[in-house]
Amino acid sequence: MGAASYGLLWCNLCRLAELDIFLTNRLNMFLGIRNDEVKFLLKNLYHRSCQSFTKVEMKSKLSEVSFNIIMRMVSGKRYFGEEVDDPEESKCILEIVREIFDVSGASNPGDFLPFLRWVDYKSYKKRIIRLHKISDRFMQSLIDEHRNTRNSSGEGARVKMIIDSMLSLQDSEPQYYTDEIIEGMIMTLLVAGTDTSSVTAEWAMSLLLNHPIVLKKARAELDHHVGHDRLAEEQWVMSLLLNHPVVLKKARAELDHHVATPLLVPHESSNYCTIGGYDVPPSTMLIVNAWTIHRDPKVWEDPESFKPERFEGLDGEVEEYNFIPFGQGRRPCPGAGLANRVMGLTLATLIQVL
């Protein structure tokens, strides 16, 4: 897919996000999915430790939560961990996800030494082409399945998944919402909306376990507002984060201070501009170093430390461009609302059972 196609894909994704996917009422429709997946996580952890103390590798468990939330919102199916809906499809999507992150994390010397592209150094291009074919085939099967279901049962017969929303837009604007664009949107949601949440949750557990005073305060506040006889539900957690000056809110902001995507998403200049005294020509890749911004000692006191109290009294608001975990300006992360809901619920629930 060329640069123009990627630009169209991103514009369509932002438009779709504004129209449907990430609006509050749409997120509320999928509330049960998020609550279910966090309970699946607790159930899994309980089964592993009910007999005796057991070491658990949390990264994979948290990844399963994130992937299943996104895929259930997209297609209505669980693909990861235990109790999957279709074992064969699960194997396929697991292979795709593993290959995506493997290729994404690999360095391609051809990007720096163009002559290496002629020989396809370490078969990088072949891997990309193979991955593209496998993922396209899988995503097309999902689209066809939902298209056939819509045609046979009608629009109002079941809960409308994200694929259904995209297909509805395809009906009205087929030139903008081709199957290829829909496939790209699904892959963007899967890749961008999963690893960041699981990495942040993993950091959360590490930081809280290494700062027991903060953990104790957060647990006490959850006990006070939620109680001892029930697990946290998303609606309660979001109410706490929005309406109460609790430690949990400050801890959540502090986790964003330790941003999971340190270089954010690359942008491209459309015209000549000057940034920090440097002349930037059009079509130049621009990368924002959020990691450095969040560790600027001129802005943040003791920026390397985990100090949720730094957000005391700020109510989540800091000076513009000093705190940019979801980007800033005209094109911030469209999934910020979903990320806050998933992270808030996961973090609150794990704190309750620690």
Reported as a single tens digit per residue, the pLDDT across 168-191 is 888 888 887 889 888 888 888 888
- What H or E segment, with its residue span, contains residue 268? strand 267-268
Is residue 54 pLDDT above 50, yes or no? yes
Q: Which of 176, 192, 208 is the last residue of a domain?
A: 192
Q: Which domain holds residue 235?
A: 196-353
Mean pLDDT of 156-174: 81
pLDDT computed for residue 188 by the predictor: 82
Q: What is the pTM of this model?
A: 0.84
Q: How many CB atoms lie within 10 A of CB 260?
A: 19
Same domain, 68 and 151: yes
List beta partners, residue 268: 285
Q: Give one DSSP letter per residue of 315-351, joined into a string.
A: TT---TTT--BTB-TTS--TTHHHHHHHHHHHHHHHH
CA gap 137, 135 in Å, rounded: 5
Mean pLDDT of 53-76: 87
Q: What is the CATH number of the domain that holds 81?
A: 1.10.630.10
CA gap 64, 342 in Å, rounded: 13
Read off the pLDDT band of 2 (50, 70, 90).
very low
Which residue from 286, 242, 244, 241 is spatially nearest to 264, judged by alpha carbons? 286
Is there a contact between 64 and 81 (Cβ–Cβ < 8 Å)?
yes
CA gap 145, 311 in Å, rounded: 47
CA gap 275, 195 in Å, rounded: 30
Split into its structural domains, the chain has a count of 2
Read off the pLDDT band of 255 (50, 70, 90).
confident
Q: How many CB atoms lie within 10 A of CB 113?
A: 10
Same domain, 135 and 232: no
pLDDT digits (tens, 9 = 90+) for 185-203: 888 888 877 888 888 888 8
Same domain, 187 and 223: no
Same domain, 166 and 204: no
Same domain, 15 and 160: yes
Higher pLDDT, 166 or 247: 166
Q: Which of 168, 192, 216 is the last residue of a domain?
A: 192
Same domain, 31 and 165: yes
Task: Please provide the average confidence, as pLDDT, over all residues in the chain.
Answer: 81
Higher pLDDT, 283 or 47: 283
CA gap 347, 80 in Å, rounded: 20
Same domain, 220 and 104: no
> What values do phi and psi take at 195, rounded to 5?
-65, -40
Is there a contact between 163 and 142 (Cβ–Cβ < 8 Å)?
yes
Mean pLDDT of 1-27: 59
Residue 53 tokens read as 């103390």
Same domain, 233 and 272: yes
pLDDT digits (tens, 9 = 90+) for 65-111: 999 999 999 999 999 888 888 888 888 888 888 888 787 766 777 77
List beta partners, residue 274: 279
pLDDT computed for residue 279 by the predictor: 94
Residues belonging to the chain: 354
Higher pLDDT, 39 or 256: 39
Higher pLDDT, 250 or 141: 141
3-state secondary structure of 273: strand
Q: Which of 152, 175, 192 is the last residue of a domain?
A: 192
Same domain, 165 and 204: no
Higher pLDDT, 306 or 56: 306
Same domain, 252 and 156: no
Residue 212 tokens read as 């027991």
